[in-house]
Amino acid sequence: MRDHDIATLGIRMTVNPRMWVAALRVIPRIEKDAFDRLDPFARWLIATRGAVLIMTFLSAALGGLLAALVGEFDAGLFILVAVGLVVAHGASNLFNDYWDYKQGVDTDNYFRAQYGPHPLVAGLFTEKQLLTWAIGTTVVPVAIGLYLAWVRGPLVLVFALLGGFVMMSYAGKPFPLKYLGLGEPAVFLTWGPLMVGGSYFCITGTLPLWVIAASFPYALGTTGVLFGKHIDKIEDDTKKGIHTLPVLLGERRARAASIGIFALMYILVIPLVLLGVLPWLVLLVFLSLPRARLAVKVFRSPKPAGPPEGYPKESWPLWFVGFAFILNRDYGGLFMVALLVAVLLLVAGVPHGYLYL
């Protein structure tokens, strides 16, 4: 597809679907002039770090597929939940960048500004513009949440308020979770019980405990990604008094904890399958073991002083988080595919009992 230009408000913008794809794959480095010429959706994807939004989509997809396994899938409600959660994640990233900048954490030489364009540090937005985009983005999940609460009842608002608290408090005052060693537990609860369980509830109107248990393996993967990110910037965070769990644990213990998280992602699947919580097809996640072995190998050693030969220089100083993210993406993708195949087999008439041990 060829790019085409549109004139709006005297600014010549380029609608470029290829940039949408690029922003969903990596965090592209871009200068302000080029950024200003992009269409609003491309700018939103870059500013919200669209490449990481896949983690939220996978949580929503797992909740939807678990609902489909019990014969209660609703496509319209699933689309609303998935869009609401993904956009809320984007809003959270915008707010986090705003608060970290306002609190003097994000600067030209800070880790966040090195691996991708920080909307304020790079001059892509003014403070007012970034705050406007953050608030504007929040309108979408709020509207969806209110509709879902009307359909499913007030418990939806409990999920929404808890998610909103994490979104606003991850880096914002008065209780910045990231600064108090609570960011990692918050991510586990959010990408697991809140997102997977909340998606299931919004679609079915119920929330059995087995769904919460089924959310734990993938939630561990997202927690491992945050551990990797915080280990990568442990020196900067220590200097700035940001007490992430890796800072509190120390790098060596934090790397060991990450390896434990990776192992538990696989270990937990086995009893969940044996107990009939998940179909045996979910054992497909073990196909991602080569990624896990590579991640473990990386986390067993300190971060190198610079990018090794063959490592993409544009991704530096990301190191641990990159390997953890790819592992989580592959693991979560296989988890989703396994559940999808199980659903398709049920639709094709395969007896429910054949999918469980």
Domain count, the chain: 2
Residue 179 near residue 190, CB atoms below 8 Å: no
- Tell me what pLDDT residue 9 has: 39
31 shares its domain with 180: no
30 shares its domain with 94: no
- Tell me what pLDDT residue 22 has: 81
Q: What sections of the chain are H helices per DSSP?
A: 17-25, 32-36, 40-47, 54-69, 75-102, 111-115, 127-152, 155-169, 183-189, 198-204, 209-232, 234-239, 245-249, 251-267, 269-274, 289-299, 320-347
Tell me, what CATH number does 312's domain have? Answer: 1.10.600
29 shares its domain with 62: no
Residue 188 near residue 166, CB atoms below 8 Å: no
264 shares its domain with 348: yes
Long-range contacts at 283-291 (CB < 8 A, ≥ 24 apart): 283/338, 284/334, 284/335, 284/337, 284/338, 285/217, 285/331, 285/334, 285/335, 285/338, 287/334, 288/327, 288/330, 288/331, 288/334, 291/323, 291/326, 291/327, 291/330, 291/331
Residue 324 tokens read as 């953890």
Give the amino acid at 72: E
42 shares its domain with 52: no
148 shares its domain with 243: yes
Range of the domain at 18: 1-47
266 shares its domain with 347: yes
106 shares its domain with 11: no
- Tell me what pLDDT residue 315 has: 76
- Tell me what pLDDT residue 115 has: 60
206 shares its domain with 267: yes
10 shares its domain with 142: no
Chain centroid, CA 231 distance in Å: 17
- Tell me what pLDDT residue 5 has: 39
- Tell me what pLDDT residue 110 has: 55
176 shares its domain with 256: yes
Q: Global pTM?
A: 0.90
33 shares its domain with 139: no
- Tell me what pLDDT residue 256 has: 98
Select from 32, 47, 62 the last residue of a domain: 47
Burial class (CB in 10 A: 0-12, 13-18, 19+), 208: middle
Per-residue pLDDT of the chain (357 residues; tens, 9 = 90+): 333 333 333 445 667 788 888 878 877 777 888 888 888 998 999 889 888 899 999 999 999 999 999 999 999 999 999 999 999 999 988 988 888 777 766 555 555 555 667 787 777 888 899 899 999 999 999 999 999 999 999 999 998 888 888 877 776 677 788 888 888 999 999 999 999 999 999 999 999 999 999 999 999 999 999 999 999 999 888 988 889 999 999 999 999 999 999 999 999 999 999 999 999 999 999 999 999 999 999 999 999 988 898 888 777 888 999 999 999 999 999 999 999 999 999 999 999 889 998
Return the C-alpha torsion angle 338, 342, 347, 350, nearest 10.
140
Tens-digit pLDDT profile for residues 302-347: 999 888 988 887 778 889 999 999 999 999 999 999 999 999 999 9
